[in-house]
Amino acid sequence: MIYRELAEIYDQLVKDEEATKSWVKFVTDNISGNKILELACGSGEISLALAELGYEIFATDNSEAMLEKARGKIKNQKIEFANMNMLSWTITDKYDGIICFCDSLNYMCEYEELRYIFHQANKHLNAQGVLLFDIHHQHRLVELNDGWDEEGSFGDISYQWIIQRDYNQLIHYFNFIKENHIYQEIHVQTVFNKTKVENLLVDCGFGVTVFTDYDIFNEDLKERYFFKAIKV
């Protein structure tokens, strides 16, 4: 199970308060209603920030270890965290907005898995509800063609993060040492074709707008695609 051992150091590894503010603005700029479902909420940074603004948040993740970290951050926010696999929806409510950020959809392996998620999202959105998500830009395959390696430490924990490309997939190797024990997780992400994703969204009943930096489209920006899909 991924994000079990990694949950211990996840925030130290990737937490970015400025990025959280940008994600929150992406939501407030594009979702007019108050009731939001988050998929793959991770350690809860975005969900909790939205809840502080008064949004009614139901946040889900497939990792109980990450949900434990998220629940431990609750102060006065009204928020519910729950375990749910994106490929097996167990909810019945409808929402004004559904969000899935930080390249979480890239953990899917096939386009049919995306189709299932988009279909469920459309089914669980209110009229004119909005699905917001991001995926890797296809240029990431070029950028990481020769791999990537980062090493560092947090207190008594040392880590190594290696990324290798395998055709249209990025393989992440997380190795870290704590109290003389070595832990490892391997994460596999698929880099999807933007046009195919757009077509899937249209097939599932959405009108689609794509950005490359939250609110603009510029092909010189080649890190992420940001999707705004409105239920039609």
Q: Is the dihedral of CA 21, 26, 31, 35 positive or negative?
A: negative
Query: Do 183 and 198 fall within a single domain?
Result: no
The Cα–Cα gap between 216 and 156 comes to 41
Partner residues linked to 172 by β-bridges: 163, 187
pLDDT band per the 50, 70, 90 thresholds, residue 2? confident
pLDDT in tens, 18-28: 999 999 999 99
Q: Which domain CATH number covers 154?
A: 2.20.25.110
One domain for residues 34 and 117: yes
Total domain count for the chain?
2
Residue 218 has pLDDT above 90, yes or no: no
CA torsion 102-107-110-112 (nearest 10°) is -60
Q: Reduce the DSSP state of residue 214 to 3 states and report it.
A: coil
- Determine the pLDDT at residue 115: 98
Measured distance CA(210)–CA(227) in Å, rounded: 5
Q: DSSP letters of 100-167? A: E-TTGGGG--SHHHHHHHHHHHHHTEEEEEEEEEEEE-TTHHHHTTT-EEEEEEETTEEEEEEEEEET
Q: What predicted TM-score, i.e. pTM, was given to this entire model?
A: 0.96
Same domain, 33 and 71: yes
Which residue segment(s) compose the domain that 77 sits in? 6-137+193-231
Which CATH number fits the domain that encloses residue 227?
Answer: 3.40.50.150
53 plus 144 within the same structural domain: no
Task: Note the pLDDT tens digit of each residue in 34-68.
Answer: 999 999 999 999 999 999 999 999 999 999 999 99
Residue 1, pLDDT score = 65
